Structures are given as C-alpha cells and as structure tokens.
Structure 1
Amino acid sequence: MDLALGASRAIDRFLWSVAKIGAWCAVLLVAVVTYDVFTRYLGVPKVFGLTSTMLQESEYWLHSFLIVLVVGYAYTRQSHVRIDLIRENLSERAKYIIEIAGILLALIPYAMLGVWLSWPYVVRSYTSGEISKSQTGLTDLWILKSGLIILFVLIGLAGISQLIKSIAGLAGRLPGDLKPTTIGGEH
C-alpha cells in the first residue's frame, strides 16, 4: 500500500506542477485582455502584426488552457460538487465506498471515453491544417483542440490518485494528512 500511496503522491505533485502552468495562463490572460482593451480603445497600434481577432481568440485559448490544466489538481483538492446534505451523514467507510464506486464506474470510464472520442477530432484538425474561421484569426487550431485530450488525461490521473487514496482509506492505511483531500471534510 505504501508503494501505491507513493504513486498517488507523485501523481498529485505532477498535477500540481501542471496546475501552476495553468495559473500562468490566468496571468497571461489578464495581460492579453488589458493589451487588447488598451490598443482598441486608445487607438494604439498593435505590434508584431497582431490583430484584434488574434488577441480575442488568444483570450479564449488562454481561458481554455487555464481550465484544462487546473481541473485535475482541483479534483484532488476536493474542489468539485458533492451532495453534502446526504453525504455528510454517512460513515467514513461509506464515503470511501462511494468514492471508489464513483471513480471506477463514472470518472475513469468518462476520462477514457473522452480521450477516445477527442483523439480523432484533434487528428482531423491537425491533418486538415484547420485554422480560424476569421481571415485574421489564429492558425493551428489542433493545439486548442488537443486541450480536450489533455483535460481527460489529467482527470483520469486525478481519478487514479483518488482511487488509490480511497482504497487505502477503506483499508485503514490512509495517512491523516490525506483524508481531507480524499473524502473531504475540511471547508
């Protein structure tokens, strides 16, 4: 069990590293929006051949990757919706069983299906050289669309990490510092 918990901690560290990159997307998003507004409303010319359309499209790219890169970490930190009204009255054992069942029956199959369905979508975009519908928009839309695959892989990894911790909790082998991030409890 210690080896599995070590793997879970490694996954969590990886998800945290990826989430930090996602957080930088938020900083870049603020900078791009500020630059876009500044140049558009004050009449300042844009540099490097950028257009307003490129800037606006880069804003939703950054927003998309912000979400994609932090979602796995958010799941490992209990930042998802739960039905606490019912769940709070359950025993720890029941919470671990529900967590394990949810991960095995819903989260992991959902993540696998998401990767499987997204792959052809991204490949088609790449092989066709898909670009923005706007003549002055961004190219290489496959990069944006690949965010779907990344999202489902990160959610799947988070699910595996949570599954390991939940099984350890059910077996009574989960360290106390991991309990709040496994079945919740700290608000």
Structure 2
Amino acid sequence: MVEKIQGLSDRLCDAIENFIKLIGHIVMWGNGILILVIILQVVLRYGFGKGMVVLEELQWHLYGLGIMIGASYSLVTDSHIRVDIIQANMGQKWKNRWELFGIVFLLLPFAFVILDHSLDFVHESFRVNERSDAPLGLPFRWIIKGVIPVSFSLLILAAISRMVRILNSMGKGKSDGNR
C-alpha cells in the first residue's frame, strides 16, 4: 500500500516538475529576446543618440520574468544556490532533514507570505490599469506584476514536490531525495 502511494506521489511530482520545466523552457526564450532588445537599445542610444524608454522598460520586464520563473525552475532542476558549508560534514540522512527544515520553515512560509501579499498588489494594479510613469513607457504594468503570484505559486508547487520526494526517499530508506 505504501509503495502504491509513493508511486502515485512520484507520478504527481513528475507531472508538477515537468510542467514547471516546460514553463521554464518557454520563458528561457525571453532571454534571447532580452539580448536583442539590449543590443537594439545600445545601438539606438550610442549609435544614433535616440534611446527608447519602451525598450528600457521591456528589458526590465524580460529580466524580471526570467528571474521570477527561474526560481521554481532552479528548485525543480536542483540548480539553486545552497549554503553547502552547513551540509559539508553531514550524512545524506541529515542533509535530507536539513533540506526539509529549510523547505518547511523558511521557503514555504516566505513563498506563502509573498503570494498572499502579491494578490492585492496585482489586483489594484489591474483595477487602475496601471501603466508606466514615463509618457512613452509600457502600458499594462499589471501584466508584469501578475508574474509575481504566478511565479510564487510555481515555487510553492516545486517546494512541495521536492519535499514529497525527500519524504518518499526517507520512507524507502534511500539516502537520496534527488531524482
């Protein structure tokens, strides 16, 4: 029975992680667009003395999109930054416990607080149809603000998936919570 539950949870974790990876791969193409926008802005500003506010703001939006979605992607692919100095002398059992502690008491509470506060933030931006303060800036600022709750929702899903994988590996007596 336990094996069936673990098998089901593994398939659910796979589905969640594959969904996050798909979104991450789509958003990664924004980095190519970001590079082109930066090059165009540099050429226009320094080559022709005519920089464009819309390109400047588009750079920030594309950069923000990559960073925000990249958080959940890096957690799923286990490529996030760690403070390994603490884990350096721990066995795998204690590394798993330490990671669970970090997910349960640090990552998830932080992500839930940001998600909760971002909903009103985005709603108000949408309600007033917020746009750039610059006269020639980008309209619909609520779109980029809407990335905040989306990205933190994905981060919460990624953290829960990671936590389930660690608990499954600990339940099986394995020493590794990674795939």
Q: TM-score, normalised by structure 1?
A: 0.85
- Give % identity: 26
Please list every run of 5 or more consecutive structure 1 residues that lacks an aligned counterpart in the other structure.
Answer: 46-50, 183-187
Asked if 1:66 is matched to 2:71, the reply is no
**Conserved? CA contact 2:165–2:178, under 8 Å:** no
Aligned to 2:129: 129
The number of residues matched between the two structures is 174
TM-aligned CA distance change 1:173 to 1:31, over 3 Å: farther
**Structure with more contact order per residue of length (Cα contacts < 8 Å, sep ≥ 6):** 1
Aligned to 1:142: 142
Aligned to 2:75: 75
**Conserved? CA contact 1:100–1:166, under 8 Å:** yes
Please list every run of 5 or more consecutive structure 2 residues that lacks an aligned counterpart in the other structure.
Answer: 1-5
- 1:41 equivalent among 14, 21, 46: 46
Query: Take 1:64 and 1:99, find their aligned partners in 2: how far apart are those partners?
Result: 27
Query: Take 2:52 and 2:178, find their aligned partners in 1: how far apart are those partners?
Result: 42
Aligned to 1:166: 166
Q: CA deviation at 1:86?
A: 2.6
Q: Deviations over 1:140-171 (max 9, x none)?
A: 11011112112211110110110111101211
Aligned to 1:108: 108
Q: CA deviation at 1:63?
A: 0.4
Counterpart of 1:161 in structure 2: which amino acid? S
**Conserved? CA contact 2:165–2:177, under 8 Å:** no
Counterpart of 2:10 in structure 1: which amino acid? L
Q: CA deviation at 1:103?
A: 1.4
Query: Take 1:3 and 1:83, find their aligned partners in 2: how far apart are those partners?
Result: 32
Query: Take 1:31 and 1:85, find their aligned partners in 2: how far apart are those partners?
Result: 39
4+ runs of 1 displaced by more than 4 Å? none
**Conserved? CA contact 2:21–2:76, under 8 Å:** no
